[in-house]
Structure 1
């Protein structure tokens, strides 16, 4: 890590009264969250192998309201 980044990190940690490790963990959490695929991508095609008519299933659920 370049000295300039380390100095900035130390200043942030001191200002927030937190450890450098905690600041780094938060930074990584933010970085990872920005790059995770959207939930819709993860579930796309989830029901493709089911033998269920989508409209019939929807009507059945709505009839329960």
Structure 2
């Protein structure tokens, strides 16, 4: 089982907490890099949130 599969399993049923973690993680990266990569971090946050929402709407929380 890959690390990604393990992470997906941990997220199952905890979508709101996952969103908060994505937001906090991105903020931490921005802070530590002095916002040097802010646009890339924001794009990654958006993709992660879109994935979580898409899976929730399909009734398939991340596995």
Check whether TM > 0.5. no
Considering fraction of residues, name the structure with more helix: 2
- TM-score relative to the length of structure 1: 0.34
- TM-score relative to the length of structure 2: 0.35
Structure with the greater alpha carbon radius of gyration: 1
